[in-house]
Amino acid sequence: MEKKRRPNARGQGELLREEIIVAAARMLDELADDEALSLRAVAREVSIAATSVYLHFPDRDALVLAALQRCHEQLVDGGDAAAEAADNPAAALRARILAQAAWAQEHPGLYKVLHESKVHRRLGMPFKKVLVDRTTVAVQACMDAGLAPADDAATVTIDLRTAVNGMLSQRINEPDLPWPPAEEQLDRFLTKLVGLR
């Protein structure tokens, strides 16, 4: 039996848009593939007509992009909160990276789509620059505090993010390999790539 949905009151279209984004993100996490998501399936999940989705998103790519932007914001917010609780720049950088890893482990399908999406190739995801910028500032803070050797923070960040994203993606895509504990592997990246002691 299909669930009945109570319509939003007049003027509350933003609430429906939010419901659609939340449903799409939940489905992307389960599917782990943006190409497998359909607007009709999302409409069924929210218990609305497919035409109602088009009032908020012109096509599937636009909906996927909105869902991934929301997920990226959660990833950034989680890293910010973890970093703010740390007592020095090195601990803050480590906390930020561990928060990213924890989010990826909790949402493997979304993390996979966020980094392997075909929508990314078609439309780009400029919002992802926020996480790069936050990491660069964190790496620079470690250098400024003498906790890491002086270097070009942007280059070190690219190396670090490549290693972290690659490690997390491989763990998602090849879960049966004999992986070492994630925290130990991330600490090695911080030591070897950033120079944290």
Q: Side-chain half-sphere of 93: how many Cα atoms within 13 Å? A: 32
pLDDT in tens, 77-120: 999 999 999 999 999 999 999 999 999 999 999 999 999 888 87
- Delineate the domains of the chain, giving CATH numbers in brackets: 13-194 (1.10.357.10)
pTM above 0.75, yes or no: yes
First-to-last C-alpha distance (Å) of the chain: 59
Closest alpha carbon to 101 in 159, 158, 166: 166
**Contact indicator for 109, 168 with CB cutoff of 8 Å:** no
pLDDT at 6: 55
